[in-house]
Structure 1
């Protein structure tokens, strides 16, 4: 299985999101300077946006793949039906 850019982007943005959440908690609890906690929260929101974008791209790609596969299956079924009608024509109904 091949790892795609979207998977790498999602994994790295998720790691940044978790680490920024940990830094925000640490900064809010123990650090007397609130600037670090604010910076960690800002980085976390940026990573959250990247995760959302990557997941939307992946969902759109899966929807397109599903639609293309359904179209391909319908086309194949139609060709099979038409070919079957040409190879084995229905008998003439003469009564």
Structure 2
């Protein structure tokens, strides 16, 4: 987990944070539940997901993969900087996984 205030700040963090918050809310699950489903320790699950959603920390690729798996969505969704593209990615993934 990277602190976004480090010199290695990723410009994707804002998009990732926005997408994570939106998709979690659309699935109707809490930050804690998502964290637990993604394999994060239950005692810090809510805090970790909150920090990812607020952009205070950046999830590593392994964590992103676990979150995507828990939500049954492709990792690419988190990095689509256009809302329409993000929705197309979700639709394509759903159609491919029928």
Q: Which structure has the bigger radius of gyration?
A: 1
Write 1 or 2 for the structure with the bigger share of strand.
2
Write 1 or 2 for the structure with the bigger share of helix.
1
Same fold (TM over 0.5): no
- Tell me the TM-score normalised to structure 1 length: 0.25
- Tell me the TM-score normalised to structure 2 length: 0.24
